[in-house]
């Protein structure tokens, strides 16, 4: 299931056993992507989980 990276537009392949909210990494720009839906396949930029997140 190919989807486009929302950041750099590269094609990212979802694994066959992908599940919603699973994290992937775009191999072009290195951005963490979160699977938003499978039908249609859609990903979004994953929230950055850093220690100061939510300040």
Q: Does 8 bind Zn ion (CB under 5 A)?
A: yes
Q: Does 23 bind Zn ion (CB under 5 A)?
A: no
Q: Does 45 bind Zn ion (CB under 5 A)?
A: no
Indicate the residue among 7 and 38 with the shorter CB distance to Zn ion. Answer: 7
The set of residues, in sequence order, having a beta carbon less than 8 Å from that of 41 and lying 6+ positions away, is 1, 2, 3, 14, 35
Ramachandran angles phi, psi of 26, nearest 5°: -70, 125
Q: Does 46 bind Zn ion (CB under 5 A)?
A: no
14, 24, 26, 35: which one binds Zn ion (CB under 5 A) = 26
Three-class secondary structure of residue 38 per DSSP: strand
């Amino acid at each position: 299931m190919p989807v486009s990276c929302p950041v750099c537009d590269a094609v990212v392949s979802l694994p066959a056993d992908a599940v919603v909210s699973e994290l992937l990494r775009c191999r072009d720009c290195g951005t963490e992507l979160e699977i938003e839906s499978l039908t249609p396949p859609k990903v979004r930029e994953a929230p950055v989980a850093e220690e100061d997140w939510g300040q």
